[in-house]
């Protein structure tokens, strides 16, 4: 899969439809060992849809097929990825005017049963509800949250957490290999992959909050925050989130690769999941409060690395 196709994961809908040319590639299903011959995506087998034409235009220029609506994607594609932000948006994709469910109803009765992967980070209960809706409509529903950000998406290096019946996952494994370098089969129960994603994002948020807080402190006590990040990166204070986000923050780069409200939303969902389990999270709650504070301070259009700016202001660091 080319980088332009992987970039299409930013779109609302991405579907793999039956190919329409003779070119073929061979892949091995790592779960079964089976050799599979299929056609590459740029032969017209990849269809995309976004509500923003500006996102669709470069993909159309690269040779992908842009569909006029979600229903058209569902009518044509055998494997569909829904990549939005909230459960309400997924509801709109599925059940809105000319939504996926409309397209699923148009498929011939003898057509392959399509698979729909829900890749957004939402509440596990919403994943269960949406999966049941899709199954009732005749699709295989895969709980498939993704992690890694735009750069790793373009490189095909995302991680995916997966929950669905084994046979459904086996059938799409070769295609998932084009999108993700690390796939984790959590269980056969939709919702469990989302639970795993929220646990991961709670750790990510706590690491981001810790890194931003201590670097703001370093500035407050007269230390060089860039030097401190270098020290932490090779010492016991190292974290991936600290290295990634704080290096950008110290360079003054707040272009929203990971927009502040997104991780804030994920941390809220993680804390709500914990509360339903009867647990109050000290670090998770603190991380969410800090992120929400940054959003309330007007940083919603910035990368979540801007948490450092928010904490520097709180600490009175100019």
Distance CA 60, CA 51 (A): 14
Q: Which residues pair with 65 in a beta bridge?
A: 47
Residues for the chain: how many in total?
318
What pTM does this model have? 0.86
CATH number for 3-190: choose from 3.40.1350.10, 3.40.50.720, 2.40.110.10, 3.40.50.300.
3.40.50.720
Indicate the domain borders of the chain: 3-190, 196-314
DSSP letter at 38 equals E
CATH class of this structure's domain 196-314? mainly alpha
User: Which runs of E-coded beta strand occur in 100-170?
Assistant: 115-118, 140-143, 146-147, 158-163
Residue 64 token pair: 């992908």
pLDDT of residue 22: 40
Rounded to 10°, the helix 260-276/192-220 angle is 120
Residue 288 token pair: 């969410």
pLDDT of residue 34: 59
Over the chain (318 residues), the average pLDDT of each successive run of 10 is: 28 48 46 53 75 88 88 93 95 94 93 94 98 97 92 84 97 88 96 98 98 98 98 97 97 95 98 98 98 98 98 94
Q: SS3 for 226-267, per residue?
A: HHHHHHHHCCCCCCHHHHHHHHHHHCCCCCCCCEHHHHHHHH
């Amino acid at each position: 899969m080319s980088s332009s196709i992987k970039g299409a994961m930013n779109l609302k809908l991405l579907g793999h439809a039956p190919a329409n040319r003779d070119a073929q590639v061979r892949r091995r299903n790592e779960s079964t060992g089976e050799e599979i011959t299929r056609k590459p995506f740029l032969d017209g087998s990849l269809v995309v849809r976004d509500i923003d034409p500006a996102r669709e235009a470069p993909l159309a220029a690269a040779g992908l097929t842009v569909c006029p609506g979600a229903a058209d994607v569902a009518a044509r594609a055998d494997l569909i990825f829904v990549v939005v932000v909230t459960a309400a948006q997924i509801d709109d994709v599925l059940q809105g005017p000319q939504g996926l469910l409309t397209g699923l109803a148009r498929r011939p009765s003898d057509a392959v049963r399509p698979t729909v992967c829900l890749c957004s980070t939402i509440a596990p209960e919403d994943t269960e509800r949406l999966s049941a809706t899709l199954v009732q409509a005749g699709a295989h529903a895969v709980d498939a949250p993704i992690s890694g950000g735009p750069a790793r998406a373009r490189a095909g290096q995302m991680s995916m957490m997966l929950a669905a019946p084994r046979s459904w996952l086996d059938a799409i494994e070769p295609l998932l290999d084009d999108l993700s370098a690390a796939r984790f089969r959590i269980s056969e129960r939709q919702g469990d992959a989302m639970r795993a994603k929220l646990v991961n994002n709670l750790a990510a948020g706590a690491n981001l909050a810790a890194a931003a807080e201590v670097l703001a402190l370093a500035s407050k006590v007269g230390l060089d925050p860039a030097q401190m990040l270098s020290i932490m990166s090779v010492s016991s204070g190292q974290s991936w989130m600290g290295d990634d986000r704080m290096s950008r923050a110290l360079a003054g780069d707040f272009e929203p690769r990971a927009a502040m409200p997104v991780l804030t939303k994920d941390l809220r969902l993680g804390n709500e999941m914990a509360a339903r389990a009867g647990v109050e999270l000290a670090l998770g709650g603190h991380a969410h409060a800090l992120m929400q504070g940054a959003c309330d301070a007007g940083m919603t259009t910035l990368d979540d690395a801007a948490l450092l700016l928010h904490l520097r202001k709180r600490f009175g660091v100019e």
